Chains A and B, each alone.
Chain A
Amino acid sequence: MVKFSFASLARQALTGHQGGVPQWRAAEPKPAYDVVIVGGGGHGLATAYYLAKEHGVTNVAVLEKGWLGGGNTGRNTTIVRSNYLWEASEAIYTHAHQLWKTLAEALNYNVMFSPRGVLQLAHSRHEEAALKRQIHANRLAGIDGEWVTAEQAKAFCPVLNIDPGIRYPVRGAALQRSGGTARHDAVAWGFARAASGLGVDIVENCEVIAIRRDAAGAVSGVETTRGAIATKTVGVVVAGHSSVVAGMAGVRLPIESYPLQALVSEPLKPVMPCVAMSNTIHAYMSQSDKGELVIGAGTDAYVSYSQTGGLHVASATLEAICELFPIASRLRMMRNWGGIVDTTPDRSPIIGKTPVPGLFVNCGWGTGGFKATPGSGHLFAHQLATGEPHPIAAPFALDRFRSGALVNEATAAAVAH
């Protein structure tokens, strides 16, 4: 594995950038592994990396049906923040947030984490009250957050329209200065590269088509489009298909899958210095390092696996974006796509055991899993290596739907992403 440094970059710059080499091994699947991770997105690759790095478990395969980061990792709007309401959520998203801060150094790969600030706009008195409650709860938990007036929000984000006469006027905003964005591809590639360097096999174009179980009902292996693989531990990290893959082992999950859309504009010079999001009109916007305005829309009303969505959903978001950010009105949108989000009844993830011994899931991150990528992988690796949940992940067990100990972020944080 090539080690990146200032010297290596300078050497490449002076020699015409001709020294590119593959950053991870294209492994052939072996007949058996200690742990098989199904799904080569950010969460799955992070799980493999931390299994190898923190627990010394390196006889691991990551099986990806397409290419790395081609699912929801490559389809989301890359927002990172940690200002959730409940203590369990604060703990898990803060855990991830802390890892983001040093991830580039840890992976020796620039994941372009940019804590540029996240504004959550309030459009009504009630939303203002709810966001202030969230800020107070966050500050008790040591998470940075502050209330800013409409004028202060405008100073922070000059393209924001705070005219009180618009349909959803901005009353103020909750600002998390330590929130921001990261580069989705770099996250997947960085984790893949580091995991591969520690001995993990990363197998692309390898779809799992069945999960084998022994006479006692425990996992004994998986069947894939590239042959059967024996293993006693399978971690399913397949956002968008969690119900389908868990169903291969007869496990049902409290998940429904919906299309969520996003768009990017033509590239502009820097105009948008932060992330701004509005739960009321379900729109959010930031600017990528390439200059494109990255716009997130809402979900369609119905369950679907079609990785597309109704145009009326995207156009409703664009109408709102044009009113909140009038500069967007004459922009051309370059691409519009959909990803499938696995949502749980309480809008919190499911991490941990299933009723089938040896089968573990990390799923249900809904519309906002990207921000959790390193934390999710770190906690799930602990589960796979030790068989027991990490204390931070324990409240997110599948059993909470039976016990009633939900972590309800649906109503609490008016959670968008």
Chain B
Amino acid sequence: MELELKNLYDDFRNANTIKAYAKIIREDALKLPHPINIMEVCGGHTHTIMKYGILQLLPENIKFVHGPGCPVCIMPKERIDHAYVLAMQRDVILVTLGDMIKVPGSNGSLQDARSRGADVRFVYSPLDCLKIAHENPQKKVIFFAIGFETTTPMTAALLDTVAKQNKVNGEAREGALGYIKNIFFHINHVTVPEAMAALISDKECNIDAFLGPAHVSVISGSKIYEEFPQDFNKPVVVSGFEPVDVMQSISMLVKQFAEGRCALEVEYKRAVTRDGNLKAQALIEKYFEKAQNFRWRGLGDIPQSGLKLRAEFDGYNAEVIYKNILPHEPIDDHKLCICGDILKGKANPPECKIFGTACKPTSPIGSCMVSSEGACAAYYKYGNLL
């Protein structure tokens, strides 16, 4: 058989395959020594699980804990305020990915900033910054970079293009043809394993196993999860995002428990290796280093879980350049929001007092409601199936 593009879509969404895996899972679940709670770390998985009604296909003794979700959901308000403040500078064009559009900070969202006159642009790719900077030489283009490991190399690649071009054209000759002096970066890249480790080190947390996001491992390799089975006794299956991928991964986890094993396995073998994309990793390494701390909305401070530009690139770092006008006080979420408990598997979205009433996707109050990939937003959209 020859592979066709549509195989990569249709066959991994095939209803009969999903049904067959549901049956295998139900049979193996009879052998489980105890009920298991699986955390899907990534909002992409939450979305698949809710959209395809996967929870309804699983037996009683397999439960899901919906993880931190997506890079947008975990962005603390003070950093959204950074974006807002930068966008409101008269000579700034703030550029970011479309996912950031509606996320509210304490003054409003970037969409609100735009309606108040700020030049905010939502792009498909970081590379679009090059064109915007070229067409607006009098403006400063600030790329507000978001994303997990999957998206970090693309920011690094943009900076690499800019830095290389400037080197060739001589930094001393500002204004020389090809010298790009008006692209800057505000970095909000975060890393998945540190967040997982923080979650399971909480004594009250209720997680027995993880579905690891495949696209993170396409870049970083499956090796980033090796510590979890080894040191924490939590199995991990690196899973693709199509419903068949997710069902197969759940089946692999259940088999591990049924057979008394605890290992790291890869379901998404078609694009994940142990080592990942080395070229992308080298690019990240060249421009970024670990930040001491990143404050996750809903989870709080997690050491070493964020990235920042290396000091030698301060000249490109909007956080350094605009230090004096950026707010630094942490801003907590609404008192009634129980996102923290949801992320640790202690509660489900409908248990929140304001779920679906004061807090909705159009007027999100907590982090889990801000993007379609957050647990509360997914329950809101697909919850009537439950």
Q: Do A and B belong to a common assembly?
A: no
Which B residues lie at the A interface, using CB under 8 A? none
Q: Which residue numbers of A lie inside 8 Å of B, CB to CB?
A: none
